[in-house]
């Protein structure tokens, strides 16, 4: 399989008080069209990742709204929802539409505006990605779920609080060089360990922020890509897997099976393995999430993620740089947009355009998780 990314676009991530939900998606889309050097008339379909427009901004029928406000009627526009993996799944649906032969050029994007409601409502909305009957109804929040996973990982493998804090420190250091990042400043391990407790052992600086933002990529068939660009980035593998939503149904709290299964599919389709990946964007909604992610993706053995982080293998210049964008932790996490923003970062890396945070990579990967692992989407990318 081979589908090309020919253009990418982002908005600034953060608290975008002066822009509406549809405006930020349109802004990202225009940036992607400019980057691809094409016009709206060249597009054939739109795929929009969005977790919860209805709860955050009282807006459903997101797909129609965006096509209308972007001036792209009568293009078919489809909303994709998979909690925090909505963006990654929108990208996958765009890929599948091209591989099926239905379309040749499409836009895959994601958008979320999360700051227009109070924090308590945001927390409750995000918790709907868990099992409402068995987890949310009983008062569980996502920090609480990931805290249990972190505690079990610490118990089984000796992972330390300091190792989890190092994930945040690394990703904030990377975000300093990302002009779109919400929190482009450095922090220390002590800053993380002394920040307010959220859900033991996770503290405030272990958690990704509440974010507004949008991201878009323009996808083209391999046949059409060279009409538009001399430097396409090819998506060569795509994998999606489901896992148990409730933690109590899992065989192990310290392993995310959906990540393992989605990555296996992506690697198989691309003809690659974990050792071939040279740069990756990994879902770090919480610091333990990146540790679980690099294990599930096969970059390190199960249980070795904390020590690997401490040893620096995930830093820029390390064996496998992870979250060069700053990750969800520092770049920000507008949940519907995150999976597409990851694809934007890997595209910039493979094109040699990630100024200040550039790696020497020809092959990359993105990893997007819905909820605590109910959905996982993995894509592999290769320089054209």
pLDDT 10s digits, 43-54: 999 999 999 999
Q: Over the chain, what is the mean pLDDT?
A: 96
Instruction: State the catalytic residue, choosing from 84, 103, 153, 207.
Output: 84
Strand locations in the chain (E): 3-10, 46-49, 77-80, 105-113, 197-199, 202-203, 212-221, 233-242, 279-281, 363-370, 375-383
pLDDT exceeds 90 at position 1:
no
- Model confidence band, residue 179 (pLDDT cutoffs 50, 70, 90): very high
- CATH second-level architecture of 124-208+235-383? 3-Layer(aba) Sandwich (3.40)
pLDDT exceeds 80 at position 143:
yes
The pLDDT of residue 140 is: 87
Q: Are strands 46-49 and 105-113 parallel, antiparallel or unpaired?
A: parallel
- Domain boundaries along the sequence of the chain: 3-118+210-233, 124-208+235-383
Within a 10 A sphere around the Cβ of 205, how many other Cβ atoms? 23
Cis-peptide, bond into residue 201, ω within 30° of zero: yes
Per-residue pLDDT, averaged over 55-67, amounts to: 95
CA distance 287 to 167: 6
The pLDDT of residue 27 is: 97
- Model confidence band, residue 93 (pLDDT cutoffs 50, 70, 90): very high
User: Same CATH topology for 3-118+210-233 and 124-208+235-383?
Assistant: yes
Instruction: State the catalytic residue, choosing from 153, 172, 283, 333.
Output: 333
Contact 215, 181 (CB under 8 A): no
The pLDDT of residue 83 is: 97
pLDDT in tens, 120-140: 889 889 888 989 889 888 888
Contact 143, 202 (CB under 8 A): yes
Contact 43, 72 (CB under 8 A): yes
At 213, list the tokens: 């933002």
- Annotated catalytic residue 379: no
Contact 323, 174 (CB under 8 A): yes
The pLDDT of residue 285 is: 97
Contact 286, 202 (CB under 8 A): yes
pLDDT exceeds 80 at position 369:
yes
Superfamily of domain 3-118+210-233: Thiolase/Chalcone synthase (3.40.47.10)
- Annotated catalytic residue 103: no
Contact 333, 88 (CB under 8 A): no
Q: What is the DSSP letter of 209?
A: P
Whose CA is closest to 335, among 382, 362, 369, 306? 369
User: Which residue is it, tokens 């895959």?
Assistant: 108
pLDDT in tens, 278-336: 999 999 999 999 999 999 999 999 999 999 999 999 999 999 999 999 999 999 999 99
């Amino acid at each position: 399989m081979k589908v090309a990314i020919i253009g990418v676009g982002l908005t600034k991530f953060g608290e975008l008080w002066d822009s509406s939900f549809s405006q930020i998606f349109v802004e990202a889309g225009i940036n992607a069209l400019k980057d691809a050097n094409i016009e709206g008339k060249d597009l054939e379909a739109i795929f929009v990742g969005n977790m919860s427009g209805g709860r955050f901004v009282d807006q459903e029928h997101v797909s129609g709204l965006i096509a209308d406000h972007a001036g792209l009627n009568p293009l078919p526009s489809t909303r994709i929802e998979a909690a925090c993996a909505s963006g990654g799944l929108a990208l996958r649906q765009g890929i599948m539409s091209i591989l099926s032969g239905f379309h040749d050029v499409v836009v895959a994007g994601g958008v979320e505006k999360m700051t227009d409601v109070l924090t308590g409502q945001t927390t409750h909305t995000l918790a709907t990605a868990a099992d409402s009957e068995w987890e949310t109804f009983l008062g569980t929040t996502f920090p609480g779920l990931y805290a249990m996973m972190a505690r079990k990982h610490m118990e089984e493998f000796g992972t330390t609080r300091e190792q989890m804090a190092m994930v945040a420190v690394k990703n904030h250091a990377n975000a300093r060089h990302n002009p779109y990042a919400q929190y482009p400043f450095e922090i220390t391990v002590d800053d993380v360990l002394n920040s307010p407790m959220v859900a033991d052992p996770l503290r405030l600086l272990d958690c990704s922020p509440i974010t507004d933002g949008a991201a878009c990529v323009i996808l083209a068939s391999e046949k059409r890509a060279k009409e538009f660009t001399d430097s396409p980035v090819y998506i060569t593998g795509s994998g999606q897997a489901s896992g148990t939503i409730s933690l109590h149904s899992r065989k192990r709290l310290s392993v995310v099976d959906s990540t393992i299964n989605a990555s296996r599919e992506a690697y198989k389709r691309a003809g690659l393995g974990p050792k071939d990946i040279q740069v990756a964007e990994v879902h770090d909604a919480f610091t333990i999430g990146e540790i679980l992610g690099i294990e599930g993706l096969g970059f390190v053995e199960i249980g070795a993620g904390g020590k690997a982080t401490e040893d620096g293998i995930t830093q820029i210049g390390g064996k496998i740089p992870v979250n060069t964008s700053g990750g969800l932790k520092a770049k920000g996490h507008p949940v519907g947009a995150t999976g597409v923003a990851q694809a934007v970062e890997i595209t910039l890396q493979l094109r040699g355009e990630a100024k200040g945070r550039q790696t020497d990579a020809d092959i990359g990967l993105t990893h997007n998780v819905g909820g605590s692992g109910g959905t996982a989407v993995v894509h592999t990318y290769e320089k054209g």
